[in-house]
Amino acid sequence: MKAELLQMSEQEQSRSEVKRLYIEGHIRQKSAAKRMGISTRQTRRIAKAYRQHGVTALIHGNRGTVSNRKIRDEIKLRCLALVRSHYHDFGPTFAAEKLLEKHQISISSETLRQWMISGGIWKAKCKKEKRHHPVRERRPRMGELIQVDGTPHDWFEGKAAKCTLMVFIDDATSKLVDLQFYPTEGTQAYMEGLRRYIKAYGRPVAIYSDRHSSLTVNTVDAASGEQLTQFGRALKTLDIEHIKANSPQAKGRVERANLTLQDRLLKEMRLEGTSNIEEGNAFLATYMEKHNQKFAVVPASSEDADRPVLHSEEELDLIFSKHSKRKLSKNLALQYNNTTYQVNIKGIGYAMRGATVTICETFDGKVTLLYKGKPLQYTTFKRGDKIPKVVSEKSINQAVDQAMIKQSQRCNHKPKPDHLWRKPIPQKRTFLPGAKEDISTLG
């Protein structure tokens, strides 16, 4: 008679020995039940089956058969087909969410992960060696600390030029409070993002950022002598503390949010057919709400630390502009951006000779002259073209794009061969409205 080969687990092997000792009377029923981790009733049932069928009674009866809870093969094949056609570069968790949202197929992310690995769609990742970084607790109240950063990336996957996503995230809740696409990370991006934030929530206690040149003066002996950037001056005027991080890990919440956005936001825009900055900015409001529902947490305190905004909209226009200082000449004129500004006042104006004037230029080109908090009336005279500024490699693509736009706007313009490019052309006189508080010296 040919011997039958039985495959038993370690648990079944240990139970087999205990059952033999119990049946042979070497140990009592309670002791056998305790050693096998089952009840005395179950011990008696297994002992009865053991006497009738031997060791085979200890092997589970469903071994080698298909589980009743197994997902049908047609569902598995349909899921893999959808993933290959629509979500081939999605992670298992994100792909499972999209299968439920778009196709009403409810599959656990771990089940889908195993299917994707076996189907060659997903490759299991090795765990990286963890590096030690000190853990910092979240701030207790929303509005106490806002982490800001710009993440350059190919957001539209070749459909448009690479651009930067400006990210503002609350430290207490991990809530995205502002998202916006810009061609480059710069002063305008940070200023406009902060203005949208204070309009929606109020003034935060502090801003947490890296040491980008738009945010901090990295050269101790700067040629201008200024110790504040344009953004730093705006923060000081609004009484918002500016804290600078020593490493990317220090502002980990916004850095991790950047990685999540580069994965999820990019693919969400692909599914929506978004192909440029304008369409992307229109889509961000919808995405932010969905993102915050999934990833935002409840703050430790229900109190809001954001403070009311004290300045008017007109004053905020001047705060969130580029400021420069110039001294008036004897005839009350100054030069800025290749243009001569002639101040128009009543009388001779002896008192204003040599006075320092603050030039406020908005990002759309509007210029306001402030003297002791009051706007001045002026006339402009255009000078000759200046030598072009040196462009860094980070902004060369933007410079080329702007040149293409300017050239397309004047494609039919044909100057004469002897055109007098350096001839001054008087401009219309510009009169600005009445006096305002001197916000340029606040803080």
Q: Looking at the domain that runs over 145-218+225-258+272-295, which CATH code has it been given?
A: 3.30.420.10
Q: Are 33 and 43 in contact (CB under 8 A)?
A: yes
How much is the pLDDT for 351? Answer: 83
How much is the pLDDT for 248? Answer: 76
Q: Are 39 and 78 in contact (CB under 8 A)?
A: no
Q: Average pLDDT of the chain?
A: 83
Output DSSP code: residue 419: -
- At residue 377, φ and ψ (nearest 5 deg) are -85, 145
Confidence band for 224, pLDDT divided at 50, 70 and 90: low
How much is the pLDDT for 440? Answer: 46
CA–CA separation, 212 and 208 (whole Å): 12
Per-position DSSP letters for 127-171, written without gaps between them: PPPPPP----PPPSSBTSEEEEEEEEE-TTTTSS--EEEEEEEET
What pairs with residue 380 in β-bridges?
341
- Can you give the residue ranges of every domain in the chain? 10-58, 73-118, 145-218+225-258+272-295, 320-388+396-441
- Asked if the model's pLDDT at residue 441 lies above 50, the reply is no
Strand pairing report for 163-170 and 333-336: unpaired
How much is the pLDDT for 390? Answer: 61
What six digits make up the tokens of 299? 């703050």
What sign does the CA torsion over 416, 422, 426, 430 have?
positive
Dmax over CA atoms of the chain, in Å, equals: 127
pLDDT digits (tens, 9 = 90+) for 286-329: 999 999 999 999 999 999 999 999 999 999 999 999 999 999 99
CB within 8 Å of 136: residues ≥ 6 apart:
none
- Asked if the model's pLDDT at residue 406 lies above 50, the reply is yes
CA–CA separation, 192 and 180 (whole Å): 9
What pTM value is reported for the model?
0.68
- CB contact burial 97-116 (16+ within 10 A = b; e otherwise): bbbeeeeeeebeeeebbebb
CA distances from residue 198 to 203, 205, 356 in whole angstroms, order as listed: 5, 11, 30
CA–CA separation, 99 and 107 (whole Å): 8
pLDDT digits (tens, 9 = 90+) for 86-112: 998 899 999 999 999 999 999 899 999
pLDDT digits (tens, 9 = 90+) for 45-66: 878 877 877 766 666 666 667 7
- Asked if the model's pLDDT at residue 423 lies above 70, the reply is no
How much is the pLDDT for 18? Answer: 80
Confidence band for 419, pLDDT divided at 50, 70 and 90: low
CA–CA separation, 273 and 65 (whole Å): 46
Identify each DSSP E strand in 21-111 by its residue range. none
- What proportion of the chain, given as a percentage, has pLDDT over 70? 81
- What proportion of the chain, given as a percentage, has pLDDT over 90? 45
Q: Please report which helix (H) or strand (E) contains residue 244, including its range.
A: strand 241-244
- At residue 208, φ and ψ (nearest 5 deg) are -115, 120
pLDDT digits (tens, 9 = 90+) for 346-374: 876 788 888 999 999 999 989 999 998 88
Q: What is the mean pLDDT of residues 206-217?
A: 84
How much is the pLDDT for 403? Answer: 80
Work out the angle between the directed axes of helices 187-200 and 230-237 (0-180°, nearest 10). Answer: 20
Q: What is the mean pLDDT of residues 134-140?
A: 83
Q: What is the mean pLDDT of residues 24-37?
A: 84
What pairs with residue 361 in β-bridges?
322, 367
